[in-house]
Amino acid sequence: MSDKAALLARRERLLGRNMSLFYQDPAHIVRGEGVWLWDADGRRYLDCYNNVPHVGHCHPRVVEAIARQASTLNTHTRYLHEGILDYVERLTGTFDHPLNAAILTCTGSEANDIALRMAQAVTGKTGVIATNHTYHGNTAAVSQLSTRMPPVGGYGGHVRHVPAPDSYRPLGGEPGAAFASAFAAEVEKAIASLEDSPHGFSALIIDPFFANEGFPELPAGFLDQAVDAVRKAGGLVIADEVQPGFGRTGTHMWGHQRAGIIPEIVTLGKPMANGHPVGGVVANIDTLNAFRKVFRYFNTFGGNPVSCAAAMAVLDIIEGENLIENARRVGEYTRTAFKALAEKHSIIGDVRGSGLFMGTEFVLDRATKKPAPELATRIINAMRERGVLMGKIGVHECSTKIRPPMPFSKENADLMLSIFDDVLSSL
Ligand SMILES: Cc1ncc(COP(=O)(O)O)c(C=O)c1O
C-alpha cells in the first residue's frame, strides 16, 4: 500500500466516507508559501484555485499577527476588547452607507444563517429566494437554499429557487436587457408565490458575482430590476460575498459594489483572515439591533482577539500590497491570453470572469454549446499532473474555476497558460 493509499484508508476510517477530495490522484499537500504549494514528495504546485489564502499562503504578516495576539490573549466577546472594534470600524469603512455595523462569526455558513434570521427579524416573514445552482453553506437553515443535495425531508415550503443567470446561454435569449428582465421576472414570480404562502417573503439571497453558478458575464445594472422588485415587496437583499469579497474581482472591494447595488445585509467568509476561521455579517446598525432583539446571539469563537488580529492583517496587506489593482491587471492579462487560446482550441466556448476569478467553459461543439463536463474533468486532472491546481464549476460543470491567491503575477499566469495550452493540445 502506498503512503497515499494508507492516508486515504485512514481518512475514511477516522473521518467517514464521502468527504470530498480533489483530483483522481489526490494531492497530499504539506506546505504553502505565496502562490505555491508543496506535496509530501517535495513537488511544487502553482495554486490557481485557493481563494482562502487570499494574500498568499502563510503570509508572514498574518502569521506574525496571529502569533503575537495568541501569545498575549485569546478570549471572547463577553469581555471588552479593542480588537473587534478596531477591526469592525476598519471593515465597515470599506462599505457604502448605510452598512455600518457587523457581527463576526467563524464561517460563511454561520454568517448566512444569521443573515436569514436578520431578514426574518426585520420583516416578520420567513420566505427566501435563492438561485437554483447555488451554495450558501451547511447549517440546517442554509442547506435549504442549496440545490446540490436536496435536504432530508425535502425543501421547506419557504424556499423558492430562480434560474441561475447563465450569460453563455442567457434566459431571454440575449445577453443584454432581456436577460436582466427575464431574471427579474423570475424573482417577481417567486415573490408572488411566497406572498401567497403562509411564509410570506423576507429576502432574496444572492452572490452578486454568482460564483458558484459559474460567474456569468452580466450587463451593467443586471440586478437593478430584481432588487427593485424585492424592495417593492418589503423584502431584504442579502449579498453573499464569501467568494467575490475582499477585492477578488479586481474592480471593487465588494462584489455588490461591482454589481452597482447596496444590499441590506452582506455576508463574509473564506478570505477574511487568510485561512484563520473568520466570517461576518455587515448591515446597518438598526438591522443588527432588530436581529439582536429577536435572537439572543453569542458565538464563543466569533470575534475573538486572535481572529480579529488575523483579519486586520489581511486588510493591511490588501491595501499595502495593492492587491485589488494586481487582481485587475493580472486578471485582464490572463483573460486576454485565454481568448487567444480560444482561437486555437475550439473546445473553449467561453472565457469569462473578473479580476482574479475566472474560467473557460468547455463545449463539445461551439454551435450547439453542448457542455463538455467529462473533458473538463480530464483537463483539470491533467493540469494537476503537470503541477497546476485549478477547479471545475458552473451550471453545466464544464468551466474551469481559477481563483488564485491575490499576489498571483503575470509570470504565474504565463506558466499556467502554457501548460493549459499543452494540455488542450494533447486531448
Ligand atoms: C457563496 C458561499 N457562501 C457560503 C459558503 C459557506 O462558507 P463556509 O464553508 O465557511 O461555511 C460558501 C462555501 O463554499 C460559499 O461558496
Domain range annotation of the chain: 4-55+322-425, 61-320
How many Å apart are CA 392 and CA 358, to the nearest integer?
11
Ligand 1 centroid to residue 41 C-alpha, Å = 31
Are residues 235 and 202 in contact, defined by beta-carbon separation less than 8 angstroms? yes
pTM of the entire predicted model: 0.97
Query: For ligand 1, atom 3, which residue shows the shortest CA distance?
Result: 136
Q: Which three cell numbers stand for residue 288?
A: 443588527
Q: Is 394 left (phi over 0), alpha (psi -120 to 50) or beta?
A: left
Kindly give, in sequence order, each residue whose CB lies less than 8 Å from that of residue 52, ignoring residues fewer than 6 positions away. Answer: 270, 271, 274, 275
Handedness of CA 135, 140, 144, 149 (dihedral sign): positive
Taking the CA of residue 112 as reference, the ligand 1 atom at the shortest distance is 4
CATH 3.90.1150.10 holds for 4-55+322-425: yes
How many Å apart are CA 126 and CA 197, to the nearest integer?
10
> In terms of residues, how long is the chain?
427
Find the residues whose C-beta lies inside 6 A of ligand 1: 107-109, 112, 135-138, 207, 212, 240, 242-243, 269, 279
Ligand 1 centroid to residue 252 C-alpha, Å = 20
Fold topology of 61-320: Aspartate Aminotransferase; domain 2 (3.40.640)
Distance from first CA to last CA of the chain, Å, rounded? Answer: 31
Work out the angle at residue 56's Cα, subtended by the Cα atoms of residues 50 and 62, and round it to the nearest 5 degrees: 125
The tens place of each residue's pLDDT in the chain, 427 residues long, gives 468 999 999 999 999 998 999 999 999 999 999 999 999 999 999 999 999 999 999 999 999 999 999 999 999 999 999 999 999 999 999 999 999 999 999 999 999 999 999 999 999 999 999 999 999 999 999 999 988 777 888 888 999 999 999 999 887 777 778 889 999 999 999 999 999 999 999 999 999 999 999 999 999 999 999 999 999 999 999 999 999 999 999 999 999 999 999 999 999 999 999 999 999 999 999 999 999 999 989 999 999 999 999 999 999 999 999 999 999 999 999 999 999 999 999 999 999 999 999 999 999 999 999 999 999 999 999 999 999 999 998 888 999 999 999 999 999 999 999 999 999 999 9
How many Å apart are CA 343 and CA 408, to the nearest integer?
25
Query: For ligand 1, atom 11, which residue shows the shortest CA distance?
Result: 109
